[in-house]
Structure formats: structure tokens, C-alpha cells
Amino acid sequence: MTITDSVRSALEVDDKVESHLNPPGSFAVSDNPVPTGREEIWRFTPLKRLRGLHADAEFNRSTTSCTWNSQAGVRVEGVIGDEARALRGISGLVPNTRFAARVLAEVPTSLLIDVPAESELADPIVVELVGEDATNTEAGHVAMRFGAHSKAIVVINHAGSASMAAVVEIVVGEGADVTVVSIQDWADDAVHLAHHQALVGRDATYKHAAISFGGDVVRMDANVTYDGPGGSAELLGLYFADAGQHIEHRIFADHNAPRTKSNAIYKGALQGEKAHTVWVGNVLIRKVAEGIETFEENRNLILTDGCHADSIPNLEIETGDIAGAGHASATARFDDNQLFYLQSRGISEKESQRLVVHGFFNDLIRKVGVPSIEARLLATVEAELAKNVLKEDR
């Protein structure tokens, strides 16, 4: 495991190594106990539905196909042996969950995406993961390296049936401009347990979009730390939970360098009996992180009865010299005033509801910044609405 001196010194300031928002970690699997559900970071997750991925289920030979498009000058390939082992922890990740520690210790291969310095990719790198067997528990590790002053977009698409534990590590070089989009559009029987960790370089710009529609249980942690001052991270999330689905997103923005920025916006909609979403936003501002700016926002729209949304923003501030910090959270049903306005102009109730939902998501979808993805998301939102809210109109 490698970690830069600047990150190490920030983590060790005043002998306070970790925040209570993000428990201490270890590469040793034995140091990460099997969760019971009473732990703060696991209390919302339905452990019995994870098929043992959180514990000691065997990581079998993968039945999920993995393909990608080629880009001139970019290395995208599976690596093994010493090269794969050298990639474990390149983002500064020290796993604090058993599944992440097991992935780093037990998975023999890594998918490496290596973008050279100064490169500017005209098209996104798209990785397609398509599962074939939800009864097969498997795991994977992805390492992305973006050289200084490079500009690139990476999209990871998840589809089909699978039970997968995954760790994705992202290193954004100095002055680089990087977007990573992870789309969880699994079949209804899939389970996905993932940890994404990014290290953002000096004056670099990083955007991460987590988009979850399918799957029986999807839980994703999206974390970010900084490798120097001036780095900026935008953490976006969009999710739509149907009956019986559990979709859980957690972020941790660790401001361990001065004049860094983070902005998190997650929006979700719920419909159907026992649809459950969880969003936990954790931001730590360390003593060394003077002059930082951060804001986190979560909005949930309840479309039918029988749904439940948990939303918990957290801020831990260790310095008074900050440019700004705040958070917002709201969970509500359709806005009666918006519906009345639309219906008073001759629009039907169902069409009014459809327009309100699209309006709820549209500003966030535009922030993704990938036109092909934006069009796909609008179509997916429409398909989700047809399952319940617009069902009577079909």
C-alpha cells in the first residue's frame, strides 16, 4: 500500500487518526469483524439479504462479463500478480469494512484504467459489467489512475443478475479534470456491495455520480480525500427504489488539506410497498483544512404509501477558519401547490405527477455532464414511473 506524505501527515495531525464518522480501518481481514447490524455504519443495511458478502461468503470465479471500449493512448486491462497487488490502496484507502478488506486481500486480479498525464479524451471510457447468476457470490477490484492535467470520463454500467462485492479506487492527478459515473441498473435479484475511494490531487476537479435503479439490495460508499490544496469534489447521486428494494448510499468527504471543496447532491424517489432508501452524508473538516468549502444535500420524493427514506447528514468541524459549510435534507410527498398549478391549466393528475418527478430530477441529471447518460436517465425515470405512478394511464 502506498500513500503520499501529505495525506499521511493530515491523517495523523494531533494524534487524531480517524473521525468517528468513519471508523478506523485495517488491511488485515481479521481486524474487521463481521457486522452484526448494531454498528453505526451497518444499522440500516439488511444484512440477511446480502448473501454473506458482508461476512465470509466465498468469492467464487466470476460469472459477470466485463468489457470495455478502447481509447488511444489509454491502458485498460486486467492485471494480476505483483502489478495487481501494487494497486491495492493506491487511493489511500484503508478498509474499515470486512468486505472491502477481503476484496483487497483475496481478489487476484484488478481492472486497471490508466490515463496518461496531459491526455484529453474525446469520448468516455465505458466499462460494461453484465451478471449472469445472482446465486454466485463474487468480487472485483478496479483501479483508475488519471495523470496530471488529464481530462477524462469513465462510466461503469452494471446490469444483469449478480451478487457482487467491489472496491473501486480512483487517483486524480494534479490539475486533472475527471468524471466517474457508476450506474447500478441490475436485475431485481441482484446484490451489490461497493466502496469507491478517490484521492484528489492539488487543484484537481473530480466528479462522482452514483446512479442506482435496479437490484434487490444496493449499498455504495463514495469517499474522497485530498492530496493537496485546491482540490474540488462534486458527489452526485440519483436513485429510484421500487417495492421491496433497499438502496443505500453513503459518502465521506475527508477535508485533510486546505482550500479544498466538496459539494454533494443526492436525490431519490420511492414507490411501492417496503421500498427503502438510505442516505448518510459524512463530512470531516480537519484542523489543517483551513479555507475549505463544503455543502451536502439530500432530497427524497415519496410517490406512494408504504415507503421509507432515511436521510442523515453529518458535519464534524475541527477548525473555525472555513469559507463555508452546511447541509440540507428533506423527505416529502408530491408538492400539492405544484400539482394544483399544473392541473388548473388542464393537465391531468397523472401527467402532473410525471412532470413534477421529472422536474425533481432534471437539474441533477444535467449535472452529470455526459449527454448519452443524461438521455438514458430521463428514459429510465419514465420507465420507473410507469411501474406505479403512471400505471393506471397505460
Alpha-carbon gap, residue 20 to 136, rounded angstroms:
34
Provide the whole-model pTM.
0.92
CA dihedral 285, 287, 291, 295 (to 10 degrees): 10
- DSSP alpha helix (H) spans, 4-110: 5-11, 81-86, 98-106
The mean per-residue pLDDT over the stretch 244-262 comes to 97
- The confidence score (pLDDT) of residue 350 equals 79
The SS3 call for residue 270 is strand
**So what's the pLDDT on residue 38?**
93
The band of 389, judged by pLDDT with boundaries at 50, 70 and 90, is low
Using the predicted structure, report yes or no on whether residue 233 has a pLDDT greater than 80.
yes
Q: Could you tell me how many residues make up the chain?
A: 394
Percentage with pLDDT > 90 across the chain: 75
Comparing 18-32, 65-79, 171-185, 263-277, which segment has the lowest mean pLDDT? 18-32
Please state, in angstroms and rounded to a whole number, the distance separating the CA atoms of residues 26 and 59.
Answer: 20
Give 36's pLDDT tier (boundaries 50, 70, 90): very high
The pLDDT score that the predictor gives to residue 194 is 98
Question: What confidence tier does 24 reach under pLDDT thresholds 50, 70, 90?
Answer: confident
> What mean pLDDT, rounded, does the chain reach?
91
Report the pLDDT value the prediction gives residue 357, as an integer from 0 to 100: 82
> Average of pLDDT values for 4-22?
52
Mean pLDDT of 81-90: 96
Angstrom distance (rounded) from CA 378 to CA 361: 8
Residue 66: pLDDT above 90? yes
Return the pLDDT at 394: 43
Encode pLDDT of 311-364 as tens digits: 999 999 988 888 898 999 998 887 777 777 777 877 887 778 888 888 888 889
Tell me the pLDDT tens digit for each residue of 98-149: 999 999 999 999 999 999 999 999 999 999 999 999 999 999 999 999 999 9
Confidence of residue 392 (pLDDT cuts 50, 70, 90): low
306 confidence band (pLDDT: 50, 70, 90): very high
Cβ–Cβ < 8 Å for 275, 244: yes
Q: Return the pLDDT at 387.
A: 74
Share of the chain above pLDDT 70, in %: 93
Please tell me the least confidently modeled range out of 2-16, 84-98, 148-162, 332-346. Answer: 2-16
CA distance 57 to 44: 20
Is the per-residue pLDDT at 393 higher than 60?
A: no
Query: DSSP string covering 345-375, please?
Result: TT--HHHHHHHHHHHHHHHHHHHH--HHHHH
Q: Which band of pLDDT confidence, cut at 50, 70 and 90, is reported for residue 18?
A: low
User: Which residue, among 218, 87, 194, 97, has the nearest Cα to 139 in the 3D structure?
Assistant: 194
C-beta separation of 278 from 249 below 8 A: yes
Q: At what angle do helices 349-368 and 371-387 cross, to 10 degrees?
A: 150
Question: How many Å apart are CA 280 and CA 296, to the nearest integer?
Answer: 10
